[in-house]
Structure 1
């Protein structure tokens, strides 16, 4: 794959993240109303406006690429290139005034994520990843150096998950088995937790019921920071994955973590 194509795409992704940040911030910590979607998850005018703004940039600059957004679904000609957007990952955090939500932008090529961007509008942090290249982290306010933590045993590892409620009855005991082997579990964070894993602050994240817009952007970022991100069986994530996501800062822990999740 031509790196120049991905660098051009990264420039477009940065422009999308900038406009999403500008769109979302005026709504943060206001009395914004949320509607319930069919899966009972919340959606706001900020989600819809940010996705609409990003779509406008993509349709203008890369009209031959298809787009899949959490709020507006699929559009464009379905070929090798697919942008996957989540304007506000962590709408519950956004609604309750916590700066742990984020905008997720990813580009898939032939069904696999090759570019990912995580942006936190309030703290002005941004993680970017391109397949085969080191990830980057920038922030105007927060300290941090890209790179996952390695050399730990599983008993020393920090485990994280967005919420116990995202676990299905089949997955709950499997997650509990992993919890018993780790140092502690922290809850909350949505995509922000994956950014922290890429900075070496968290070691393992295990979640399920995830859609491509929830994990697409995370794959290049985590891998480019030195970690691994798979399903709970240790298989690469794809558009046909089962919704489980397992991120390990130290890939040497992957086989042991998968064994406990099984």
Structure 2
């Protein structure tokens, strides 16, 4: 992707996020009708309506591209390009009025996410990442971090214990006993807190492709380390509905320490 293509795709992503934002903010802090999916996770009409709208806009502009999203699954056009969408990541936060939910959008080429967006409508915060470009509300994001290289100095976060397997939870609990501070909750916003400097490490298990892949280009644009628990690169898997275990850290020593504890 060259600079002109980046501008075209990022402008298109902003359009997608703007359209989704109108839909999702209408339902936020309202009397929601909540449904529970087969996997036990909640869904609202606003999740579904947002995804329908995004799919329609993408299909109109890029009719040959694939789409994978949380509510309606995979649409294959045998393309090397795949749009990955989570209309409301953090629906539990959304339904209780906590503003940390976000809309995640990514374009992947041959399984590798090349540009990603995380939009937080209730926070008026929008991130885009591509190569070494990290944009917050369409302006370059720059941050000087305090040098933290030890797990004993680190603040660690994860969405919740319900996402971990029993073995994974035991390993994670051992890890966080070594940390300076630990927080539950935060959903996809936790990853942006690693960029901002509020968190030093995020560890999660049981994620779907649309939960993590859109965030990867944003994180990598600030040289943040993103791997699975085996320290391997994360791409879209051939089994599109596989689950992902993730370690995200600014510092390599902290990342490697987490890998050791989670294996």
Tell me what 1:70 maps to: 70
Tell me what 1:206 maps to: 203
The count of aligned residue pairs is: 258
Tell me what 1:175 maps to: 172
Asked whether the equivalents of residues 149 and 249 of structure 1 are also in contact (C-alpha less than 8 Å), the reply is: no
Residues 17-56 of structure 1 mapped to structure 2, 5 A cutoff: 17-56=17-56
Residues 1-262 of structure 1 mapped to structure 2, 5 A cutoff: 1-130=1-130, 132-138=131-137, 145-147=141-143, 149=145, 151-152=147-148, 153-240=150-237, 242-262=243-263
Gaps of at least 5 residues in structure 2 are: none
Deviation at 1:63, TM superposition (A): 1.5
Q: Deviations for 1:66-95, whole angstroms, at most 9, x for unmatched residues?
A: 111101111240211000000000000000
Partners in 2 of 1:83 and 1:145 — Cα distance?
Answer: 24
Deviation at 1:170, TM superposition (A): 1.8
Partners in 2 of 1:119 and 1:8 — Cα distance?
Answer: 18
| CA root-mean-square deviation | 1.9
Deviation at 1:242, TM superposition (A): 4.9
Asked whether the equivalents of residues 148 and 250 of structure 1 are also in contact (C-alpha less than 8 Å), the reply is: no
Q: Tell me: CA distance 1:87–1:242, structure 2 relative to 1, closer, same or farther (3 Å).
A: closer
SS at match of 1:216: helix
TM-score, normalisation: structure 1: 0.93
Deviation at 1:58, TM superposition (A): 0.7
Range with greater deviation from structure 2 (231-240 or 37-46)? 231-240
SS at match of 1:233: coil
Gaps of at least 5 residues in structure 1 are: none
Range with greater deviation from structure 2 (168-177 or 84-93)? 168-177
Asked whether the equivalents of residues 201 and 254 of structure 2 are also in contact (C-alpha less than 8 Å), the reply is: no
Q: Tell me: CA distance 1:146–1:202, structure 2 relative to 1, closer, same or farther (3 Å).
A: farther
Asked whether the equivalents of residues 118 and 126 of structure 1 are also in contact (C-alpha less than 8 Å), the reply is: yes
Asked whether the equivalents of residues 70 and 86 of structure 1 are also in contact (C-alpha less than 8 Å), the reply is: yes
Partners in 1 of 2:8 and 2:152 — Cα distance?
Answer: 42
Q: Tell me: CA distance 1:242–1:261, structure 2 relative to 1, closer, same or farther (3 Å).
A: same
Partners in 2 of 1:169 and 1:73 — Cα distance?
Answer: 27
Asked whether the equivalents of residues 105 and 116 of structure 1 are also in contact (C-alpha less than 8 Å), the reply is: yes
TM-score, normalisation: structure 2: 0.92
Partners in 2 of 1:181 and 1:150 — Cα distance?
Answer: 19
